[in-house]
C-alpha cells in the first residue's frame, strides 16, 4: 500500500510534548488567575449555525470563515447555498449567543472566562495562525454595568502577566468617548469619519507620526494641517504615573459632553486600577489606542512587553455598549479582554523568552531485573500516591539505555533497585539534572523526592 | 433589525457555569491521573487533511465525517471533489499521524495523553453527540512493546475512576488471540469469519445468549448447534479473582499456538495488574468482550459501573499491532484506552451521580458604601494573593440583593465591611451555605477563610 505523507495544514501550531507542557503551563496560569478574580468557566461548541455566527460581520471576517458540512450535506453545496454550519472565528460572538440563549439561567453581572480554539482561514504566512487559542474574560451587565468594572480588567491582566513571567509590561488605556469627543471639537463631527480617523491614529505606534499626518491631510481625509497637528499632538499623549495622567487629561482643556464623559471615565478607571493594587509602573494612558473594531464604545486596552515592542499587543479589549443586540432585546453592556495565546506563545518562544519545559514526569523506575517487577511497581505506586508522576520501565533492556531514555525525555530522577539495594533495604536515586546519585532508605524515598521536587519548584 | 434566534445545533453539550465547573473537575481528575502515571500531553489540530484522516476507514466513519472549507474554497466543491479538509472524528488517527510525522523527535516507548474534542455527524438522537471530548492514553513502542504495558493501562483506569468517585466499577479484560484461537479450534478458521463471530459475541451482554446462538446458527453464519454452544460457553466465562481467572483459563484445555499465546498474555497481564495494586474486586475476565474495531490484536478492555450496567462501557481500548502503517514503514505497536467524557458526564448526571458543582468563586466582597471601595479592593487583593477566588461587587445596590446574587451564583462566603466593622477593625463574614455569620479581625480573615475552605475541601 502506498504511504500517505503524515502532515498538517499550514497555520496550525502542533507541539512536541515538552513544548506542549510549557504551553499547558501558560494555559493553567491564565486559568488560575481568571478564577482567582471570580470568573466562571464556560465552553461553547466549535461548530455554530452560520446564520448565528455571521449576523454582525461581513467584510474581512466573513471571507475568513471555515464552513462545515457533514458527508450527507455535501451535495447541498452544489446548489450554491452557503453551508448551514461554520467554525467560530472568535469567542465573543459565541459568548453573545450563549448569554442570549441562557439569559434566564445566568446571574448578572455575568463574569465568564473561556479558553478555547478559534478558526480563521488566514493566508498562510509566518506568525499567522488558522487555529489558535483565545483566552477571554468578560463581565456582562444586565441593563447597566458600572464603569468601575473597567478597572478590574487591568488588575486581571497585571496578575496574569506577572505570573506568566515574561518581563516588564505596560497596560495601555484609552477611551473612545474621549477620542471621538476630541475629534468632534476639531470639526470631525461625522461618526463614520471619526471611525476612520480612529483607525488611522491606531497605526501611530507602528507607522509613526509622519505617515499618519500624511494620511489625515491626504485626499481621503482632507483635514487641514492644523487639525492634523492637533490630532497628532492628542494621540501622542502618554502618561508615567496616575498623577501625570490626570494632569495630561486636564491639560486637554474643556470639550463636548462626550469628551467630558470620556475624561471622567478614564480618571475614575485610572484611580481604581491603583486601588486594585496594580503598580503605576505597569499601566499608562496612550491616547493613540483605538482598537480596530467598531464594537468598542468606551475604555480600550492594549498590553505591550516593554522589551519586545515588536510583538505588538499581547492582550487587548475594551468596553462595549451592547453584547447581543442581534439575538435579544435585552440591553447587555460589558467589558472584556482576550489573550491570543497561540500567537503569544509562538512569539515568546521566537524571542527566546520561553524554554522547552521539563517533563511532567518526575521519576523513571528503571528495570534491572525483570523478576523484581513487583517491587518496582510497588515503589511506583507509593510515589504516585504521593503525587509524584512516575513512569516504570516495563520492557527492560540495558540500564544505560534506560538512563539515556530518561535523559532524552527530560525526566529528572531515575531509580535503580538491584540485588544490592534490595539486600540493604535502599534504593539508588540518579539525579540526571545534577548528574549525581545517592542512596536512600526505601521507606524514606517518597519524603526525599518530595523535598527535592519542592525545592526545584521554588527554584523555577 | 430582526433578531436571529440564539441556538446551537443538536448533538452538542453546552453547560451552564456550575455544570461546566463539575465537568472541568472531571477533566482535571483525569489529567492529574494520566500525568501521575507518566503520560505526556499532546494536542493536535481539529482540522486535518481529508486524505490523512481517511486513509484507513471507509464505511460508517466516512459517512459521519464533517468536511471543512474556507470561504474561498467553497466554489471548488461544485466540481464534486471531496473537500481537502475535515474535522477529526477520533484521537487515534491524529495520534498515528503525529507519531509518524514527529517520529524522530519522540522517545519510545512514547506515552501520550490527549484530551480534546472530536466530531461525528451522528443522527440527532438523545445521548448521541456530534461534538464530544475523548480522553485518551496510549503507549507506543518502536518495533516492539512488552505485553506488560497491557497491565499498566488497567492500573490507570483504576486510579482515574476511583478518583472520579462514581461508585463501584469493574475493568473487564479479554484477549483477541485467545478468542480467535478458540474459534479456530472449533473449525472457524477463516480470519474474516472469525471477525464476524467476534462482533456477534460482543453483543452477548446486551442481547443475551439466545440472540447470539440464533445468529450463529442462522443463515449468515451456518455454525452447528454444537459449535455455537461451545462458543457461547466460552464467551460466558467471567472471573471473580486472579486465581479464579487462572483456573478458568486453564479449564479451556489445550489449543492452537494463537490460543496459547493469548492465554499466556492474559495470565501475565492479570498477575501484573494485581502487582500494580489494583484490587481484585475491580478487574475480571470477560471472554465475550471483543471491541468492534478490527484494529485490536491482543488484550481488549471495557469498564462498567457495577450499579449502572445500562450505561455500558465507560472506558475501552486494547492492544494493536501497528499504529501508523498508513503513514510510515516503522512498526509501531501500542496499547491504549479512551474515555468518552462528554457522554460519560451526561450519563452520570442523568443517573443522578453528578451534581451541579459549587462555584469556583469562594468569596463575594459586598459593597455597603461606595466610598469604601479602596478597602474592599485591598481585602480582595489579600484574599486573591492567598489563592482564594474572590469577586468584588463594583456596581453597588442593596445589600440584600448582593447576598441573593451570591447565593444564586453558588458563592459560599459574602463579606460585609461597613462603618461599624471599620471602626472595630473587623469584617463580617456571612456563610451562605451554613446560613450563619461571624465577625473576624481584619488581619485574621485570610487565615480563617483558608481553614474553612480547606475543611470544605476535605468534606467533599
pLDDT of residue B456: 82
With cut-offs at 50, 70 and 90, classify the pLDDT of residue A80: low
A405 annotated ligand-binding residue: no
In this structure, are residues A155 and A351 in contact, taking their beta carbons and an 8 Å threshold?
no
Pull the grid cell for residue B74. 467553497
Mean residue pLDDT across chain B:
93
A192 Cβ neighbours under 8 A, 6+ residues apart: none
Evaluate if residue B392 carries a pLDDT over 80: yes
Q: Say if the Cβ atoms of B47 and A326 lie within 8 Å.
A: no
User: Mean pLDDT lowest for which of A83-92, A199-208, A223-232, A407-416?
Assistant: A199-208
Contact state of A381 with B85 under an 8 Å Cβ cutoff? no
The DSSP letter of residue A2 is P
CA distance A358 to chain B (A): 11
**Least CA distance to A133: which residue of chain B?**
B45
Q: What is the pLDDT of residues B340-361, one digit of tens each?
A: 999 999 999 998 888 887 899 9
**In this model, does residue A59 exceed pLDDT 70?**
no
Q: For residue range B16-32, what is the model confidence (pLDDT) as tens digits?
A: 999 999 999 999 999 99
Average pLDDT over residues A226-250: 96
Which SS3 state, helix, strand or coil, does residue A226 take?
helix
Mean pLDDT, rounded, for A62-75:
79
What is the C-alpha to C-alpha distance for residues A14 and A8, in angstroms, rounded to an integer? 8
Rounded Cα–Cα distance for residues B104 and A415 (Å): 26
**pLDDT reported for residue B444:** 97
* pLDDT higher than 90, residue A61: no
Which cell goes with A437?
546519585
Nearest residue of B to residue A75 by CA position?
Answer: B80
Q: Is A332 on the interface with B (CB under 8 A)?
A: no
- What's the pLDDT tens digit per position in A320-360? 999 999 999 999 999 999 999 999 999 999 988 888 878 99
Residue A58 confidence class, pLDDT cut points 50, 70, 90 = low
Rounded distance between C-alpha atoms, residue A1 and residue A43, angstroms: 41
User: Is B81 known to sit in a ligand binding site?
Assistant: no
Q: In Å, how far is A20's CA from the nearest CA of chain B?
A: 6
Sequence spans of domains, chain B: 12-158+314-357, 167-313, 363-459
Indicate whether A148 pLDDT > 90: yes
- CB of B85 within 8 Å of a chain A CB? The answer is yes
* Residues of chain B with C-beta less than 8 angstroms from the C-beta of A395: 109, 141, 144-146, 148-149
Confidence of residue A75 (pLDDT cuts 50, 70, 90): low
Q: Are A375 and A422 in contact (CB under 8 A)?
A: yes
Q: Which helix (H) or strand (E) holds B263?
A: helix B257-275
Task: Report residue B204's pLDDT band, with 50, 70 and 90 as the boundaries.
Answer: confident
Query: What are the pLDDT digits (tens) for A216-234?
Result: 999 888 899 999 999 999 9
In sequence order, the 6+-apart residues with CB closer than 8 A to the CB of A153 are A137, A139, A301, A317, A335, A336, A337
The residues, ordered by sequence, that sit 6+ positions from A353 with a Cβ below 8 Å of its Cβ are: A166, A167, A308
A126 labeled part of a ligand binding site: no
Which three-class secondary structure state does DSSP give residue A141?
A: coil
Fold of B12-158+314-357: BirA Bifunctional Protein; domain 2 (3.30.930)
| pLDDT above 50 for B78 | no
DSSP B108-123: SSEEEEEEEEEE--PP
Look up the ipTM and state it: 0.94
Max Cα-Cα span within chain B: 92
Beta-sheet strands, E only, within B329-425:
334-340, 363-365, 390-392, 413-416
Contacts of B72 in chain A (CB under 8 A): 63, 121
Task: Name residue, grid cell 468596553.
Answer: A319
B62-72 mean pLDDT: 84
| More confident: A192 or B112 | B112
DSSP, residue by residue, B131-169? EEEEEEEEEE-SS---TTHHHHHHHHHHHHHHHHT-S-E
Grid coordinates in use for B336?
491504549
pLDDT band for B110, please (50, 70, 90 cuts): very high
Q: Among A62-66, A251-255, B192-196, name the most confident range.
A: A251-255
A87 with B68: Cβ contact below 8 A: yes
Chain A residues whose beta carbon lies within 8 Å of the beta carbon of residue B141: 395
CA B409 vs. chain centroid, Å, equals 28
Angle between helices B209-217 and B191-201 (to 10 degrees): 150
pLDDT per residue over B249-266, tens digit each? 999 999 999 999 999 999
B71–A64 CB contact, under 8 Å: yes
Answer whether residue A78 shows pLDDT above 50.
Answer: no
* Contact assignment for B45 to A387 by CB distance below 8 Å: no
Predicted local distance difference test score (pLDDT) of residue A73? 62
- Closest by CA to B147, choosing from B325, B278, B315, B320, is B320
Chain A: give the shortest CA distance to residue B153, in Å: 12
How high is the pLDDT of residue A290?
87
Q: Which of A117, A133, A382, A394 to probe by mutation at the B interface, max B CB count within 10 Å? A: A394
Give the residue ranges of DSSP H helices in A186-287. Answer: 191-201, 204-207, 209-217, 225-235, 242-250, 257-275
B122 band by pLDDT with thresholds 50, 70 and 90: confident
Look up residue A94 and give its three cell numbers: 459565541
pLDDT > 90: percent of chain B = 81
Tell whether B276 lies on the interface with A, counting CB pairs under 8 A: yes
Domain B12-158+314-357 and domain B167-313, same fold? Reply is yes
- Nearest Cα of chain A lies from the Cα of B379 at a distance, in angstroms, of 10
> Residues 6 or more apart from A6 whose CB is under 8 A from it?
B52, B96, B97, B98, B100, B101, B324, B327, B328
- Reported as a pLDDT band with limits 50, 70 and 90, residue B126 is confident
Q: In chain A, what's the furthest Cα-to-Cα distance?
A: 92
Beta-bridge partner residues of B119? B131
The mean pLDDT of B196-200, rounded to a whole number, is: 88
A17-350 falls under which CATH superfamily? Bira Bifunctional Protein; Domain 2 (3.30.930.10)
Question: What is the distance of C-alpha B381 from the center of its chain?
Answer: 37
B277-288 confidence digits (pLDDT tens): 999 999 999 999
CATH for the stretch B167-313: 3.30.930.10
- Tens digits of per-residue pLDDT, A19-35? 999 999 999 999 999 99
- Cβ-Cβ contacts under 8 Å between A and B: the total is 308
- B77 against A197, higher pLDDT: A197
Instruction: Round to the nearest angstrom and report the end-to-end CA distance of chain A.
Output: 49
Residue A36 above 90 pLDDT?
yes
- B17 interface with A at CB cutoff 8 Å: yes
Residue A259 has pLDDT above 80, yes or no: yes
The residue of chain B with its CA nearest to that of A28 is B28
Q: Rounding to the nearest 10 degrees, give the CA dihedral for residues B83, B85, B91, B96.
A: 100
A425: left (phi over 0), alpha (psi -120 to 50) or beta: left
Please give the distance of CA A416 from its chain centroid, rounded to a whole number: 42
A328 vs B6: CB contact, 8 Å cut-off? yes
Residue of A67, A98, A326 with shortest CB distance to B3: A326
Q: How confident is the model at residue A125 (pLDDT cuts 50, 70, 90)?
A: confident
How close does chain B come to A257, measured CA to CA in Å? 23
Q: Which three cell numbers stand for residue B13?
A: 453539550
A138 is in an annotated binding site: yes
Q: Which residues in chain A (387-416) have CB-CB distances under 8 A to chain B?
A: 387-392, 394-396, 405, 408-409
Residues of A in contact with B121 (CB under 8 A): 70-72
Closest-CA residue in chain B for A141?
B395
Q: Say yes or no for a CB contact (<8 Å) between B67 and A65.
A: no
What's the CA gap between A310 and B418, in Å, rounded?
Answer: 48
CATH of region A363-459: 3.40.50.800
Check B3 against A394: CB less than 8 A apart: no
The answer to whether residue B123 neighbours chain A at the CB level (below 8 Å) is no
Confidence of residue A460 (pLDDT cuts 50, 70, 90): low
Cα nearest neighbour of B54 on chain A = A4
Task: Quickly tell me which residue has 502532515 as its cell.
Answer: A7
Q: If DSSP codes are grouped into helix, strand and coil, which group holds residue A365?
A: strand
Exposure pattern of B407-442 as b/e (b: 16+ CB <10 Å)?
bebbbbbbbbbeeebeeeebbbbbebeeeeeeebeb
Q: Which residue of A has its CA nearest to B36?
A: A389
Average pLDDT over residues B158-167: 95
Query: Residue B400 and residue B397: Cα distance in Å, rounded?
Result: 9
Is A144 touching B (CB cutoff 8 A)?
yes
- Which residues on A lie below 8 Å from B100 (Cβ)? 6
Amino acid at each position: 500500500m502506498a504511504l500517505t505523507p503524515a502532515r498538517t495544514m499550514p497555520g496550525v501550531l502542533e507541539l512536541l510534548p515538552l513544548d506542549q507542557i510549557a504551553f499547558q503551563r501558560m494555559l493553567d496560569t491564565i486559568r488560575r488567575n481568571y478564577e482567582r478574580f471570580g470568573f466562571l468557566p464556560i465552553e461553547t461548541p466549535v461548530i455554530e449555525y452560520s446564520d448565528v455566527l455571521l449576523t454582525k460581520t461581513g467584510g474581512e471576517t466573513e471571507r475568513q470563515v471555515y464552513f462545515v458540512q457533514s458527508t450527507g450535506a455535501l451535495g447541498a453545496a452544489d446548489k450554491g447555498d452557503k453551508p448551514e454550519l461554520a467554525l467560530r472565528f472568535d469567542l465573543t460572538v459565541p459568548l453573545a449567543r450563549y448569554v442570549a440563549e441562557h439569559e434566564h439561567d445566568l446571574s448578572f453581572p455575568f463574569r465568564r472566562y473561556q479558553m478555547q480554539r478559534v478558526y480563521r482561514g488566514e493566508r498562510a504566512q509566518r506568525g499567522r495562525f488558522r487555529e489558535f487559542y483565545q483566552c477571554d474574560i468578560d463581565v456582562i451587565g444586565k441593563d447597566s454595568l458600572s464603569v468601575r468594572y473597567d478597572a478590574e480588567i487591568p488588575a486581571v491582566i497585571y496578575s496574569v502577566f506577572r505570573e506568566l513571567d515574561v518581563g516588564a509590561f505596560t497596560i495601555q488605556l484609552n477611551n473612545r468617548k474621549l477620542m471621538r469627543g476630541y475629534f468632534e471639537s476639531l470639526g470631525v463631527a461625522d461618526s463614520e469619519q471619526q471611525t476612520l480617523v480612529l483607525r488611522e491614529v491606531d497605526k501611530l505606534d507602528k507607522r509613526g507620526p509622519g505617515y499618519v499626518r500624511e494620511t489625515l491631510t491626504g485626499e481621503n481625509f482632507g483635514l487641514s494641517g492644523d487639525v492634523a497637528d492637533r490630532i497628532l499632538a492628542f494621540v501622542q499623549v502618554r502618561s508615567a504615573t496616575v498623577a501625570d495622567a490626570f494632569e495630561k487629561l486636564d491639560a486637554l482643556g474643556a470639550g463636548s459632553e462626550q469628551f467630558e464623559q470620556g475624561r471622567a471615565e478614564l480618571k475614575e478607571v485610572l484611580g481604581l486600577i491603583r486601588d486594585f493594587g496594580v503598580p503605576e509602573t505597569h499601566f499608562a494612558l496612550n491616547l493613540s489606542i483605538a482598537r480596530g473594531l467598531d464594537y468598542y464604545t468606551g475604555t480600550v486596552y492594549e498590553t505591550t512587553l516593554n522589551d519586545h515592542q515588536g510583538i505588538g499587543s499581547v492582550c487587548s479589549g475594551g468596553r462595549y455598549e451592547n453584547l447581543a443586540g442581534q439575538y435579544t432585546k435585552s440591553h447587555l453592556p460589558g467589558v472584556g479582554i482576550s489573550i491570543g495565546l497561540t500567537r503569544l506563545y509562538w512569539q515568546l518562544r521566537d524571542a527566546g523568552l520561553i524554554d522547552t519545559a521539563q517533563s511532567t514526569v518526575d521519576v523513571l523506575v528503571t528495570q534491572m531485573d525483570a523478576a523484581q517487577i513487583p517491587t518496582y511497581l510497588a515503589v511506583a505506586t507509593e510515589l504516585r500516591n504521593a503525587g509524584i508522576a512516575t513512569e516504570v520501565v516495563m520492557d527492560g533492556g540495558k540500564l544505560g539505555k534506560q538512563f539515556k531514555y530518561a535523559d532524552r525525555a527530560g525526566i529528572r530522577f531515575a531509580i535503580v533497585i538491584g540485588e544490592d539495594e534490595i539486600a540493604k533495604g535502599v534504593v539508588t536515586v540518579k539525579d540526571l539534572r545534577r548528574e549525581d546519585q545517592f542512596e536512600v532508605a526505601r521507606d524514606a524515598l517518597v519524603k526525599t523526592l518530595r523535598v527535592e521536587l519542592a525545592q526545584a519548584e521554588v527554584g523555577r
